[in-house]
Amino acid sequence: MRMIRRYISFLAAVALTLGMCCAPVYGFYYDDPGYDDFGYDSYDYDDYGYDSYSAGSYDRVYDMYGLFSADERSSLDAMCRQYGADCGLDLIIVTAGSTGGKSDMEYADDFYDAHEFGYEGETGVLLLIDMGERQIWISTAGAAIDQFTEERIDSLVDEIAGELADGDYYEGCETFIQHSCRYFTTEVSAGEVRRARGVPLGMICVSLAAAMAIAAGVLYALYRSYVGTMTADHLTYLQENTLSVTRSGDRFLRTTMAVHRLDTANRSRPGGMGGGPGGGVHTSGGGSTHGGGGGSF
């Protein structure tokens, strides 16, 4: 009974230590159930004046495959600039017929890094439309990595892929621009996956020091409560030279065999693949951190 009490006390001390270490950091995760469905109806983009923003010397639309007319390219570029300025996000659209042997993820990340995109730093989202493989990829950078959770990327990919599959390329890019800005300006709701960022180092150190101090105090109190109470050990109940082996042997009982067929077929899932193979948070060939996901259309 005494050993059970000691075991329970030890587990309580460990649980207290872990709780003190994790509780301050956990507070930096978003858990707001008030933003179900991302609050689409609460943000109106119809009142934007596209001719009011001219900052940024680089293009936002790189139509290397030739999907758009000159007027469509100009309109999409203006939308990227205006929406991006209003929500603090760099929005980039790239079309290509080939990725030069790279995966869509690698091509999109490297294109973003090579052109040094980013709103007031590195924050931005790039949409790659690979017409050769009929794939799309969304690459995120900076603060957009946290805001574009796997659920949001999956939803955005599905919405864009549906319009591209119908040949509505301009409308698909409009959807990318509008919904990207809405996702970025809406807090992550409960149940969505988000990486914790920006936790101050000082807060972590203080939390760990406090947890260790409290845990040390609890363990010391437990130790003091048991000092001097041990009156017997395992040798107390052991009589020397009383163990003797009179007979030994082995007996075969049974053999069990299980056979499983391996499915080697190459399976793939069409449509959204947020955080799919090679996706999620990763490091590009240039050493920058990106998030993203993609799918086919």
List, as one string, the DSSP characters of 40-106.
Answer: GGG---TT--GGG----SS-SEEESS--S-HHHHHHHHHHHHHHHHHHT-EEEEEEES--TTS-HHH
Stretch 233-259: mean pLDDT: 71
- For residue 89, give the nearest of 60, 50, 52 by alpha carbon: 60
- The residue with greater pLDDT, 291 or 203, is 291
What is the widest separation between alpha-carbon atoms in the chain? 99
**Using one digit for the tens of pLDDT, what is the confidence trace for 118-138?**
998 889 999 999 999 999 999
- For residue 110, give the nearest of 132, 83, 141 by alpha carbon: 141
**Strongest mean pLDDT among 5-19, 90-104, 202-216:** 90-104
Which DSSP state fits 32?
A: B
- The residue with greater pLDDT, 95 or 8, is 95
The pLDDT value given to residue 69: 96
* 3 state DSSP class of 262: coil
Within a domain: 237: no
Within a domain: 38: yes
Phi-psi region of 83 (alpha: psi -120 to 50; beta: other; left: phi over 0): alpha
Vertex 39 angle, CA 33 and 43, to 5°: 145
**Strongest mean pLDDT among 61-75, 201-215, 267-281:** 61-75
Q: At what angle do helices 169-184 and 150-165 cross, to 10 degrees?
A: 160
Which DSSP state fits 183?
A: H
Residues facing 283 on adjacent strands: 289
| Count: domains in the chain | 1
Which helix (H) or strand (E) segment holds residue 111: the answer is: helix 104-114
- The residue with greater pLDDT, 266 or 245, is 245
Give the CATH number, domain containing residue 102: 3.10.310.50
The pLDDT value given to residue 32: 36
The pLDDT value given to residue 34: 34
Q: Taking a C-beta distance cutoff of 8 angstroms, is the pair 92, 125 a contact? A: yes
**Strongest mean pLDDT among 25-29, 31-35, 182-186, 208-212:** 182-186
Enclosing domain of residue 291: 33-194+284-296
Within a domain: 214: no
The pair phi, psi for residue 286, each rounded to 5°, is: -85, 0
Within a domain: 4: no
- Answer yes or no: pTM beyond 0.85: no
Within a domain: 238: no
Within a domain: 115: yes
Within a domain: 219: no
Task: Share the mean pLDDT of the chain.
Answer: 75
Q: At what angle do helices 201-226 and 2-26 cross, to 10 degrees?
A: 170
Within a domain: 141: yes
The answer for residues whose C-beta is within 8 angstroms of residue 90's C-beta and 6 or more apart is 60, 84, 117, 118, 119, 123, 124, 125
b/e for 51-86, b at 16 or more Cβ within 10 A?
Answer: eeeeeeeeebbbbebebbeeeebebbbbbbbbbbbe
